[in-house]
Amino acid sequence: MDVRSYFPALDRQVYDKPLIYFDNAATAQRPQAVLDLQQRLCVEACGNIHRAVHKLSADATDFYEAGREAVRRYLNAPGRENIVLTSGTTASINLVAACFCERYIEKGERILISAAEHHSNLVPWQLATARQGAQLEVLPVDDAGELSVEELDRRLKAAKGRIRLLAVTHISNVLGIVNPVKDLIETAHRYKVPVLVDGAQGILHETVDVQALDCDFYAFSGHKIYAPTGIGVLYGKKQWLEAMPPYMGGGEMIDTVTFEKTTYAPLPLKYEAGTQNFVAAACLSPALEIARKMAEEPALQENLRTMRDYLREELQKIDGLRMYGQPRDPEKKIPLFSFTVEGAFPADLAQILDKMGIAVRSGHMCAEPLLNRFGQTSMLRASLAPYNTLAECETFMTVLRRAVRMLR
Amino acid sequence: MKTIQEIQADIVDEFSVFTDWMDKYEYLIDLGKSMPLIDEKDKTESNLIRGCQSRVWLSCREEGGRLYFAADSDAIITKGIISLLLKVYDGQTPEDILAADEGFIEQIGLKENLSPTRANGLVSMIQTIKAHAAAWRGSKPQPETPAAPKTDLESDIILALRQVYDPEIPVNIYDLGLIYDIQADADGQVFIRMTLTAPNCPIADDVVAQVREAVSDVPGVKDVQVDLVFEPEWTTDRMSEEAKLELGML
């Protein structure tokens, strides 16, 4: 499988240098099949879904629902009604935070999140708990960046039923550690606490089977797994999705409307008010198909491990470099490295790397509390996808060493 | 002492010897390293300007009618550019600082560093320098709200103007406060008086053309005349609350 040929953006040059795209945790590049479908639908099936009887609307609806079915299969969800399409991970989490807290949390109760959360799995809970007079509690990470299942157990026991939900990331966008979500979920369930998993990073790097995980909610964005921006997914167990109140009101989420009372559409449409991004939703089908193919290709998986091990080793050779997220089991790390280098500020390094055609992320990475936990306000992050190459990693290291020398 | 224009010309001269970005960056890094540090006691929360990428501190004191600045940043390239800006503004009068622009940054090929999308605190720092100057001038510039609509046609024209953007700034030109006056008579003759954020704005013609085009498309408009002026000078005080929020100034 010549994976790079699927992604036209990988061929481009920036500042007359071949692009090395190492910011995949922010957004992934898109395969030609997705771009083709996107354009085709805009021409052939631009009719509003689930509404009209005409051909364009019917075709658009079929494509949209096929996108949902592709997600259902990818996650091994039991049914169509478990898959709510949203605009992204952030929208999915906001939905659960608002609707779950409205129905299930009261003054003095708490939502438990981990210290490794992206702002998107933190601020929505802050807003929703504040509205109910409830609080946030934070499950710490240790110096390696790992969460402890025992600590979770201890906290749930001490909370005596006052913790109503655990929201935790599958893989932190800063630490790149695959969290033991299955164990965390099992433990939470022993205390009858439901669990939302933020899968923004997990969806690309892990095989996600929501039934095997037994998570109550799983949220992810299309654009981090080769689909367009503006489409996201919320998987939810039926019992919760049925019991929670609707989120936004509007078209499509209703059954009947009178001025006195409205009854709501059955799942999943109850949570899909307004015209959805149906073209992007349809593009989930080819995107997930390619993701599946890439995940099943042993050579690509081997490539990811090789690049990871190479970078882990080479980065640590740089004098004064500190890496964040080093799990005890080295296999629990994805090829995502956040680090700081003494005497070389992340934004400066990123600026020099950019001029050499290398796209990396710098800054607080939407996880200020986590960076503070490690005494930093800013880090540099290189995050890889299966289409990156060892040769790119070697160039990256050469340029990084040179940039560090320039800055010191 | 040299005027702001003279110092800027010197800097442009200095940079003209560099042929590639690497040399320029190395020079900026040197400047950043050799820049005198802000007094630790002035590295306070109130002197802090936050960007997503890096933080900048700026303090200002007045002596004999002139302003003196000290600054710091955790990013060294940003600090190098700050040292250029301070070279220009340090020891100048509030009036001269307010009248000056930062066009020389573009001339030396570092324009992208001043883009708000870099989020490195530089844009906010320049605004803060100007705000200090405005405060020391004695009388603050009277914030003039953007021209308010008087008729339905004028409201429609404003809607059209809100679709026009300065390509550097993610806020439309109306909410930026660039529109000083709108006059539309019953015959559909429209007169617009406007400014730009900087007098030597390289895309001035484009923006004016866009304004003309957007307003011409408004139903009822027959003819559009655009008068580009730089008096009174635009300041950030003219921005709407939403615009300030959008640019992270609130």
Interval A246-281: pLDDT, tens:
999 988 888 899 999 989 999 999 999 999 999 999
The residue out of A270, A290, A310 marking a domain boundary is A290
- Are A319 and A178 contained in the same domain? no
The answer on pLDDT for B3 being more than 80 is yes
Q: What is the pLDDT of residues A80-109, one digit of tens each?
A: 999 999 999 999 999 999 999 999 999 999
Chain-chain contact of A362 with B22 (C-beta, under 8 angstroms): no
Q: Are residues A267 and A312 in the same domain?
A: no
Q: Tell me how far the alpha carbon of residue B236 is from its chain's centroid.
A: 8
Between the alpha carbon of residue B168 and those of residues A210, A362, B233, the distances in Å are 44, 21, 19
CA dist., res. B207 & res. B173, Å (int): 9
CB pairs under 8 A between A and B: 39
pLDDT tier for residue B127 given thresholds of 50, 70 and 90:
confident
Same-fold call for B4-136 versus B152-246: no
Q: Where are the beta strands (DSSP E) in A13-140?
A: 13-14, 17-18, 20-21, 83-86, 110-114, 135-139
Q: What is the pLDDT of residue B152?
A: 79
H or E element at residue B183: strand B179-184
**pLDDT tens-digit series, residues A303-353:** 999 999 999 999 999 999 999 999 999 999 999 999 999 999 999 999 999
Tell if the CB–CB gap between B25 and A364 is shorter than 8 Å: no
Question: What is the rounded radius of gyration, in angstroms, for the C-alpha atoms of chain B?
Answer: 20
Report chain B's mean pLDDT, rounded to a whole number: 84
pLDDT per residue as tens digits for the range B13-53: 999 998 888 899 999 999 999 887 788 888 888 888 877 68
Interface membership of A345 toward B (CB under 8 Å): yes
pLDDT attached to residue B139: 43
Q: Name the closest residue on chain A to residue B120, using Cα atoms.
A: A347
Considering the domain architecture, whether residues A45 and A18 belong to the same structural domain is answered as no
Q: What percent of chain A clears pLDDT 90, i.e. is strictly above it? A: 95
pLDDT tens sequence across B178-227: 898 888 888 888 989 898 887 777 777 888 888 998 999 888 898 898 88
- Give the per-residue pLDDT at B147: 55
| Range A29-44 average pLDDT | 97
Amino acid of residue B144: E
Enclosing H/E stretch for A345: none
Fold topology of B152-246: GMP Synthetase; Chain A, domain 3 (3.30.300)
- The predicted pLDDT at position B141 comes to 42
Dist. CA A271–CA A253, nearest whole Å: 6
Q: Measure in Å the smallest separation between the Cα of A57 and chain B Cα atoms.
A: 30
pLDDT tens per residue across span B59-93? 999 998 999 999 999 899 989 989 999 999 999 99
Provide the CATH topology of domain B4-136. Answer: Sufe protein. Chain: A (3.90.1010)
Say yes or no: A137 and A285 in one domain: yes
Q: What percent of chain A has pLDDT over 70?
A: 100
Distance from CA of A338 to the nearest CA of B (A): 15
Q: Do A199 and A311 reside in the same domain of the chain?
A: no
B75·A348 Cβ contact <8 A: yes
> For residue A168, what are the β-bridge partners?
A197
Q: Residue B145 pLDDT more than 60?
A: no
Same domain, A239 and A105: yes
Residue B165, beta-bridge partner list: B172
The domain boundary residue, chosen from A290, A305, A326: A290
Q: Burial of B150 by CB count in 10 Å (0-12 exposed, 13-18 middle, 19+ buried)? A: exposed
Residue A174 pLDDT > 80: yes
Both A400 and A368 in one domain: the answer is yes
ipTM field: 0.80
Count: domains in chain A? 2
How far is it, in rounded angstroms, from Cα A341 to Cα A318? Answer: 8
In angstroms, the Cα distances linking A316 to A311, A320, A339, A340 are 8, 9, 10, 11
- Domain end call among A290, A319, A343: A290
Same-domain check for residues A217 and A270: yes
- Whether residues A207 and A264 share a domain: the answer is yes
Res B118 pLDDT > 80: no
Please name which of A38, A94, A11 lies closest in space to residue A282, comparing C-alpha atoms: A38
A56: domain CATH number is: 3.40.640.10
**Over 70: is that where the pLDDT of B95 sits?**
yes
Quote the domain boundaries for residue A165. 36-290
Looking at the structure, do residues A9 and A63 belong to the same domain, yes or no? no
**Are B74 and A407 in contact (CB < 8 Å)?**
no
Note whether A347 contacts B: Cβ–Cβ < 8 A.
yes
Looking at the structure, tell me whether residues A255 and A138 fall in a common domain: yes
Active site members of B: 52
Q: Is-contact A129 A105, C-beta < 8 A?
A: yes
Closest chain B residue to A353, measured at CA: B22
CB proximity under 8 Å: A 368-387 to B? 377-378
Which range has the top average pLDDT, A177-186, B80-89, B156-165?
A: A177-186
Chain B interface residues (partner A, CB cutoff 8 A):
21-22, 25-26, 29, 52-55, 74-78, 119-120
Domain coordinates in residue numbering, chain B: 4-136, 152-246
CB distance A407 to A347 below 8 Å: no
B54 vs A355: CB contact, 8 Å cut-off? no
Q: Are residues A95 and A217 in the same domain?
A: yes
What is the domain-level CATH number for residue A323?
A: 3.90.1150.10
- With cut-offs at 50, 70 and 90, classify the pLDDT of residue A131: very high
Chain A, residues 289-308, CB within 8 A of chain B, namely none
Among A347, A363, A406, beta carbon nearest to B78: A347
CB A395 within 8 A of CB A358: yes
| Burial per residue of A150-186, b for 16 or more beta-carbon CB atoms within 10 angstroms, e otherwise | eebbebbeebeebbbbbbbbbbbbbbbbbbbbeebbe
Which of A351, A363, A377 is nearest residue B77 as measured by Cβ atoms?
A: A351
Task: Give residues with Cβ within 8 angstroms of A240, minimum separation 6.
Answer: A100, A194, A216, A217
